[in-house]
Structures are given as structure tokens and as C-alpha cells.
Amino acid sequence: MLSIKNLCKSYQDVKETRLILKELSVEVAQGTSISIQGESGSGKSTLLHLLATLDKPDSGDIMLHSATQILDLVKFSESQADEYRKRQLGIIFQKYNLIDCITVMENLLLPAQLSKTLDQAYLDKLLTTLGMERHKNKLPNQLSGGEQQRIAIARALAHKPQLVLADEPTGNLDSKNSAVVSQLLVDTCKHLNTTLILVTHSQKVANLTQSQYVLLDGRLQMISSTL
């Protein structure tokens, strides 16, 4: 379970301090999916960066509970944060962001090797699930945008993470591809019992998740939930 309590984050502007997240709290059960919507600049990406330990909050707690341990993300040292990203976390960015000089399969192998959880059969199955098995020896730039984002999803799941953060994963795709990729992402995470936090502007994409939130005035407000 992911538990966020009283999370605050501010940025120093030229003239004033802007409080982006104001005592934000939420709990997400393991294996569930939530979507976060909100206006540009509302703090959606900031929240994801904090969850990915790429940035530090001003105050508050972020705890990740697993079967064996409880991780206090806010108190992580740099090496602990690296280790967390390596083993527990998968990130999907808007611009696909694959390593373009290596093949599709190598892109999946890399996180699996880094986390020392390499399972070739699982990776093959993952590619089959995403319909990309015939592209495994291609370079990313030989694929279409939709195909690249499917590989990005596969890469985020390649090391069987506990948590996947997706920042506008379909922002660069057309509506048809957007629907297919989002569905695949949600279904695959559910199938693997991975928690998914998805930031999106699209209501259609948001509707695919189990709970939908909106980030307003620095706090998360639940819009609907099927849980």
C-alpha cells in the first residue's frame, strides 16, 4: 500500500514562494490503479517526482508498504532512492523515452538486469501481452509512437515493480492508440498486482482506472471510485 500524509511542496519563484502541494494525503491499496487529473501547473508532475524520489518534499510522509517491509521514501538517502527506483518503481513518461541505441528487448533487459530480477520468460510474455513480440529486435526509432509507448509500458513493468508512475503516457498519441495503450497499461498492472498512479488530462483514460482524483489547490479530491 502507498500512503501519503500531509505532503507539502513549494517552489521559490522570482518574487514569491508558491505552495504547490498543501498537506496532500491519500492512500492507494496495492494492485489498484488511480488516475490524477488537474490543470496545468496544479502539481501533478511534482507529486509524481516526489513519489519517484527524484525530488524531496518540504514536509509530510510517503510510505510504501510491502509484504516484508515499510519504506519511508522521504527519508531515503541518495543510494536508497537509487535502489528504490531500481527495484520497486517503474516510470512511464509522456515522450516514450526509450534508450534509442539499443533494441526493444535490450530496453526491457536493462531494468531487469539492474534490479537483478531477470526472467526472460516473463519478458517474452510481457511483450506478447502488449502485442510487441515481433518487434523485439528492432530499434525504438523503427517503431511508431503507439508501439514505442507500449515498449515503455513493458520496460516499466520489466522488473516487476510494486508501483508504476505514468506521467501523461498517452499525451503524444492519437485517440485510437491512446485508448489501446491505456487499456493495456491498466490491465497489465492489474494482472501483475502492481499499483498504478496515472496522471492524465484525458477523461477517457482516467475512466479506465479504479479511482479518479483531481488535484485542486494542492490537494487530491476523489471524483469517483469503483473500489
Partner 1 sequence: MVINASYFYFARMLLQSYRHTKFSLVMLLSALLIATSGLSAVLVINHSAKQSYEQEATYLLPNVSHQIVAKNQHQALSKDDYAALKRLGFSELVAYATSKHQLYQGDKLVNKRRISLTGIDLVSAIALPTFQQKMRNDQRAQADNNLLGLAFSANVAFSHPSLIKRLTQAASSTDSTVNTKLSLDSPAGQLLPELQAIDDASLGNDIVLDIKSYFRLVPNGEISGLLWLGQSGNNNNARLQSLAAQLPAHLTLIAMTSGEQQGELTKSFHLNLLAMALLMFVVCLFIVLNAVNLLLNARMPWLKISRQLGISRGAIFFIQAVELLLFNLLACGVGIVLGMYLANLVSPTVQATLESLYNVTVGFGNVSFLSLFMQVFSISLVGSALALMLPFRQVNLALNQTKTLPPNHHQHRRWQTLLLSIASSLALFTLLIVNFASQLWLLLIAVACLILGGCALLLLSYSSVLALICRVIPERLLLFRVSVKQSIALSSKSKIACCAFFIAATSNIGMNLMVDSFRGATLSWLDTRLAADYYLYYKGEQDLTDIAKQEGIILSKLLENDIDYQGLTIQQYSYPSTETFKNAMVYYQVEDKEQAWQAFTANQGIFVNQQFAFHFNAALGDSINLPEPSTEVITAYNIVGIVYDFGNPSKQVLFPVQTFSSARSASSIYALEGSEQQVQAFKNQLVKLNIDIDNSLIKTADLLAMSMQTFDRTFLITDGLNVVTLLVAALSLACAIIVLSKDMKPQNMLLRSLGVSRLTSQILALFQYLLLCIVALIFASPFGIMLSWILINAINYHAFQWTYPLQINVFTLLQIYAVSLSVVLLIIFIPTLRASRKPLIEDIRWLN
Binding site for partner 1 (CB under 8 A): 45, 49, 52, 54-55, 78-79, 82-87, 89, 91, 93-95, 97-102, 106, 109-111, 113-115, 167-168
CB of 76 to partner 1, least distance (A): 12
Q: How far is the CB of 198 from partner 1 (least distance, A)?
A: 15
Q: How far is the CB of 226 from partner 1 (least distance, A)?
A: 29
* Closer Cβ to partner 1, 45 or 211, answer by number: 45
Could you tell me whether strands 195-199 and 163-167 are parallel, antiparallel, or unpaired per DSSP bridges?
parallel
**Shorter beta-carbon distance to partner 1: residue 69 or 79:** 79
* CA 190/CA 209 separation, integer angstroms: 10
Under a CB-based contact definition with an 8 Å cutoff, are residues 36 and 213 in contact?
A: yes
Judged by CB, which is closer to partner 1: 85, or 135?
A: 85
Q: Is 94 left (phi over 0), alpha (psi -120 to 50) or beta?
A: alpha
Residue 32 or 88: the one with the smaller Cβ distance to partner 1 is 88
Q: Which is nearer to partner 1, 112 or 192 (CB)?
A: 112
CA distance 147 to 131: 9
**Least gap, CB of 187 to partner 1 (angstroms):** 23
Closest separation in Å from C-beta 225 to partner 1: 28
Residues 129 and 150 sit within 8 Å (Cβ to Cβ): no
**Residue 166 buriedness (CB in 10 A; 0-12 / 13-18 / 19+):** buried
Q: Where do the H-state alpha helices sit in 43-166?
A: 44-51, 78-87, 104-114, 120-129, 145-157
